[in-house]
Amino acid sequence: MSVLDDLALSPSKNAKVFVLYRESNEKKEPLVIFQANSTHLPGFDGRVLRIRHMVMSPNYDYGDVNKEEYKEILAETFAQATALAGSELESKHVKFHFRTPSDLYFFREMRPSLEEEEEIKDVKAYGAWISFSLVVAEA
């Protein structure tokens, strides 16, 4: 995808490409790549970390993989991307865009557990997005 190529070659302070790897037997296997950018958006007070253009490894797009493993990768991607809002791409809010309706279903199922987290508030799922605010970013 050219949008990822261009950004990977020329990252900026507020927009970068990230790869989530699995390491085993001294081997790094890429699992997913995504764009993350932090910006001001209408309707939000403060910066919003947007996670977009998520591309899974061909093993997961075309291979025959266990559904639980796929869900674990989505959950880890979500956790790692969200961690960026408290560090490298500091943001008060997070918006996560989904690749497929199945991914959207998975994250909508996660919504109740997200709402129980003390560090998260205002969880909303709409269209192909889920958004929430981070309490720790308000301090």
Q: What is the pLDDT of residue 68?
A: 80
Residue where the block lists tokens 């998520």: 54
Note the pLDDT of residue 105. 76
Q: What is the pLDDT of residue 136?
A: 63
Q: For 21-31, what is each residue's pLDDT tens digit?
A: 888 878 888 88
pLDDT for the residue 61: 66
Predicted local distance difference test score (pLDDT) of residue 139? 42
Tell me how far CA of residue 90 lies from CA of 27, 28, 103, 135, in angstroms: 31, 27, 25, 13
| pLDDT for position 138 | 44
Residues of the chain with pLDDT under 70: 1, 61-65, 136-139
What is the Cα 52 distance to its own chain's centre? Answer: 7
